[in-house]
Amino acid sequence: MHAEPTLLLALDLTGTFVFGLNGALTAVRAARLDVVGVVTLGMMTALGGGVIRDVLIGSIPPATFLDWRYFALAAAGGLIAFALSKRLSRLETPITVLDAIGLSVFAVIGASKAMNVGLGIAPSVLLGVVTAVGGGTIRDTLVRQIPTVLRSELYAIPALVAAAITVATMRMGLYGLPAALGAAAVCFVIRMIGVRFGLNAPSPPGTVEDSGDPESDPPPASGPADRQ
């Protein structure tokens, strides 16, 4: 295994901790889990996207299983979230901000790793998005929510933009700390604008926009079988 560039490793570890914290906070908010459940969900959020990415690019075993710091940071994020669970009502904004940070960092990481193993432009951009949204999708599925990427304010699109910027700068030989941070910043800003103004990707014509909350859905039309 060759040594990862310092920048790549630093961003990867940062995203791992942030997503671990975010995933565990989401677990506390969405489902009343014990400490094991909260930490487990935080770790799956933090590590899931990276594992999917590494498997797809043939980096076996995934980096997560070769460096103890990934597990340690993901678990630390989960434990911190569990400790802060009593203040959950005040953590709505921090959860959203942490999610945006993790999304931004992982989009850059996924795209740059894909380019480093020789993949083309489109596959690299796609893997950037998969890395960014994979862990959160696993998290939402386990707590029986529609994944954020399928319903939330500009979630996959910011990751796509960040991954595209990363790939473009690498192709032009301009990739480095400023370019990586710039791509992550663009993703973060777009994501937060979407949250602030409730912007969403276009929905099919004639459909009613839905927040993804089952309780907010209109009741199904009743038929003869429904009436007793």
Q: Is the peptide bond before 158 cis (omega within 30 degrees of 0)?
A: no
- pLDDT at position 115: 95
What confidence tens digit (pLDDT) does each residue in 147-164 have?
888 876 689 999 999 999
Any residues with CB less than 8 A from the CB of 217 and at least 6 apart, and which? Answer: 210
Query: Is the predicted pLDDT of residue 130 greater than 70, yes or no?
Result: yes
* Mean pLDDT for the chain overall: 83
d(CA 9, CA 15): 10
Task: Kindly report, residue by residue over 31-71, the tens digit of the pLDDT.
Answer: 778 889 999 999 999 999 999 999 999 989 998 899 899 99
CA 86 to chain centroid, in Å, comes to 24
Position 165 scores a pLDDT of 97
More confident residue, 222 or 17: 17
**Res. 228: pLDDT tops 80:** no
Q: How confident is the model at residue 12 (pLDDT cuts 50, 70, 90)?
A: confident
Tens digit of pLDDT for each residue in 82-107? Answer: 888 777 667 778 878 888 888 999 99
Tell me which of 168 and 219 has the higher pLDDT.
168
Query: What is the per-residue pLDDT for 128?
Result: 96
pLDDT for the residue numbered 26: 80
Compute the residue count for the chain: 228
Contacts of 114 (CB under 8 A, 6+ apart): 53, 57, 123, 124, 127, 128
Q: How far is CA 72 from CA 14, 26, 84, 193, in A?
A: 12, 19, 18, 32
Q: How confident is the model at residue 166 (pLDDT cuts 50, 70, 90)?
A: very high
Greater confidence, 82 or 127?
Answer: 127
Measured distance CA(51)–CA(184) in Å, rounded: 20
Rounded distance between C-alpha atoms, residue 121 and residue 164, angstroms: 8
**167, 122 Cβ separation under 8 angstroms:** no
pLDDT of residue 219: 45
CA 20/CA 29 separation, integer angstroms: 14
User: 212 falls in which pLDDT band (50, 70, 90)?
Assistant: very low
Number of CB atoms found within 10 A of residue 63's CB? 21
